[in-house]
Amino acid sequence: MRDADVIVVGGGVVGLTTAVVCAELGCRVRVWSREPAERTTSAVAGALWWPYRIEPVMAAGDWGLRSLAVYEELAARGGLGGVRMVEGVLAGNRLDALGPWAARVAGLRAAEPGEYAGQGLWARLPLIDMPVHLAWLRERLRAAGGVLEERTVGRLAEPLAEAPVVVNCSGLGARELVRDDAVYPVRGQLVVVENPGIETWFTAADSGARETTYFFPQPGGLLLGGTAEVGAWSTEPDPAVAAAIVARCAAVRPEIAGARVLAHRVGLRPARHRVRLERDGTAEGRVLVHNYGHGGAGVTVAWGCAEEAARLAGAAS
């Protein structure tokens, strides 16, 4: 008798969320991950709900709205899963420049002069404490009967030999696992400082810019960013880049300039010209679903993509 109906390859936020959805639909689920969730790119994420660096835009909006509903519910339940609803400014954004999904984000409006001096939007959005959230996803999966295994996968034939359904959530690892050269890294560097009393978030992150400016108040400190370096693979923090990040954020909120630095972080976003969320017809007698390439919006679309992946896998009607 097989010991799994579904094997999910990848233990970041997309993989864990997909595993939770499948397990709660009644499937026996195993997650194979090369490293624990706290060492994945997901653990480094900011993580503000907002469709950033993800294609296709229309689908991402739908996936994101489904995820938004989940996060709003978690926040309303006392911040379950490390999710809080926090106010802030999306600098440089206009409502008429966004997709139709924006009309369904409650309270999203033009920022008033007292809130932000330039052009921007004011919003109350989910801000997720990723270490807490990833641990919560793991426990929710275990509660549904799922099993987590640290296991490096060289070929998808390995999980396909052990389960009738495999969902590939390998992120940047898909470059090697399925030889998908369309997947590439977008390097993001952050600085964590002691919060000098900032309670709202701020982001000025054009989708094509190499340098971005944002700060997110998290329980463990104020997260400052950032960068979006296409094709860069280094995971070592650059001191000069870190200093520039602090300076950009301090230009928005001067009190940041004197904040004590607590940590430096680097993550590689798994970008692609479009998310690969599809059923693969090449798995003989088995079901293979791909769910990767979410760029800078893995947290934002995690639940919407997980539900779609479960449907494609036959776990959901």
Q: Classify residue 187: in a domain, yes or no.
A: no
- The verdict on residue 254 lying in a domain is no
Specify whether the CB–CB gap between 294 and 270 falls below 8 A.
Answer: yes
219: in domain: no
CATH code of the domain containing 170? 3.40.50.720
- pLDDT range class, residue 215, cuts 50, 70, 90: very high
pLDDT band at 315 (very low <50, low <70, confident <90, very high): confident
What is the reported pTM? 0.95
Asked if residue 103 belongs to a domain, the reply is: no
Q: Give the Cβ contact number of residue 100 at 10 Å.
A: 10
Residue 251, domain member (yes or no): no
Q: How confident is the model at residue 317 (pLDDT cuts 50, 70, 90)?
A: low
d(C-alpha 17, C-alpha 305), whole Å: 9
Judge whether 236 lies within some domain.
no
Task: Give residue 38's pLDDT band: very low, low, confident or very high (50, 70, 90).
Answer: confident
Domain count, the chain: 1
Q: Choose the weakest-confidence range: 98-102, 103-107, 207-211, 231-235.
A: 207-211
Residues 6+ apart with CB under 8 A from 102: 61, 95, 108
Query: Which amino acid makes up residue 241?
Result: V
Question: Counting beta carbons within 10 angstroms of the beta carbon of residue 127, is it exposed (0 to 12), middle (13 to 18) or buried (19 or more)?
Answer: buried
Domain extent at residue 21 = 1-85+126-182+273-317
Query: Is 62 within the bounds of a domain?
Result: yes
Task: For residue 224, tell me if it sits in a domain.
Answer: no
